Structure 1
Amino acid sequence: MNNLIYPCLWFNHEAKAAATFYSAIFPNFKILDENELVVVWELNGTRFMGLNGGPQFKFSEAVSFVIECATQEEIDHYWDKLTADGGSESMCGWCKDKYGVSWQVVPQVLGTLMSDPNKRDRVVAAFMQMKKFDIQTLIQAANG
C-alpha cells in the first residue's frame, strides 16, 4: 500500500492566510499547491491540506500537533509565535493558534525525565503548574 496519508484542516475560508502564518513560524515550510478551495503545504517533509470549508466545523483539542523542541529558545519561539495575534495559552505545553488549531510545544528531554519512576512524580508536579514548558525547571524538579 503506497497511499499517502496526510491531515486536512478545515478552515473558515482562511486556509491561505493560515498557510502564510505557518510559513513565517516554521523554517522548513513550503506551499505545494493552492486554489480557491484548498492549499497544500509541506512542513518538515509532512504534507498538510487546508480546506476553505466555511464556518460549519471548528478545531478542538481532540486533535493537536506536537512540536518537539531541543532547546528553551525553540520552545519560546514556537510558543510565542503560535499564541500571538489571538492565539491562546493552555496548561502543560498546550496552546492554540489564532485559527484555533491546537499545538503541544514540548521539550525533547521530557520523555527522559519521566522515564525514571523515582523522578516522574516531581516532573509531572512541576509541569502541571506550567503553561509554557521551562526546561530548566523540569530538570531541577527531576533532580529534587
Structure 2
Amino acid sequence: MSKLVPCMWFNGDAEDAATFYVSLVPNSEITHVQRNVSDGPSGKEGSVLVVEFTVAGQPLVALNGGMKMEYTHAISLMIHCDDQAQVDSVWTAFLAHGGKEEQCGWLRDRWGVAWQVVPKVMFEFLSSPDKAAAARAMQAMMKMVKLDVEALRRAFEGKSAA
C-alpha cells in the first residue's frame, strides 16, 4: 500500500534539520540518508541529498534541493503533546535553536517551517458537546502564544484565571 510522506525542501542543511526534528519528541529517528552520486544542483558528490526520518512516528523526508525555498502557513506540522511539560520542552527547543514564536501555539523554526505545538487535551476541549465550553477554550487559545494547558482548562470549565 502506498503512503503519503511529506517532503520538506532545504538548501544544504536537510540533515541538520532532520537531526533537530528527531530530537524533539519520542518515537522519532533518522531512518536513511541518501547521498548525491555525482555533482549537481543539490550538492557535490557524497553530500547529503535526502534524509528520511520520522517525528512521533510520522514519516517525513528532508531534501537538499539546491536553492532556498520559502515556507508558508499554507501547510504546517503539528505536534500533539501529552501535557504541559512536553509543550514546554518542545517549545523551548524550537526557540533555543532559532525558532520564532507566533500566535495560538504556532511557531516557525529556524528554517521557516511552520509548526503547531498543541496539547492533546485541546482537541477534547474543542470537540466537546458543550459548545459554550468549547468556545471559551477557543477564545482563550486565540489570546495565547505558547498554549497553557491549565489556563485552557480553566477557560473550558468557565473558571476565572485566579
TM over 0.5: yes
Tell me by how many angstroms 1:85 deviates. Answer: 2.7
Quote the residue 1:143 is aligned against.
157
CA contact (8 A) 1:75 1:133 kept: yes
Quote the residue 2:140 is aligned against.
126
- Name segments (4+ residues, structure 1) moved above 4 Å: none
Quote the residue 2:112 is aligned against.
100
Tell me by how many angstroms 1:98 deviates. Answer: 1.1
Two-structure CA RMSD over aligned residues (Å): 1.5
Quote the residue 1:71 is aligned against.
83
Q: Distance in 2 between matches of 1:70 and 1:87?
A: 21
Tell me by how many angstroms 1:111 deviates. Answer: 2.2
Partner secondary structure for residue 24 of structure 2: coil
- The number of residues matched between the two structures is 143
After TM superposition, the structure 1 stretch with the greater mean CA deviation from structure 2, 74-83 or 19-28, is 19-28
Partner secondary structure for residue 4 of structure 2: coil
After TM superposition, the structure 1 stretch with the greater mean CA deviation from structure 2, 134-143 or 29-38, is 29-38
Q: TM-score, normalised by structure 1?
A: 0.91
2:56 aligns with one of 30, 36, 44: 44
Partner secondary structure for residue 37 of structure 1: strand
- The alpha-carbon distance between structure 1 residues 74 and 52, as it changes in their structure 2 partners (threshold 3 A), is same
Amino acid of the structure 2 residue aligned with 1:99: W
CA contact (8 A) 1:84 1:97 kept: no
CA contact (8 A) 1:11 1:52 kept: yes
Q: TM-score, normalised by structure 2?
A: 0.81
Q: Distance in 1 between matches of 2:56 and 2:78?
A: 13
Tell me by how many angstroms 1:56 deviates. Answer: 4.3
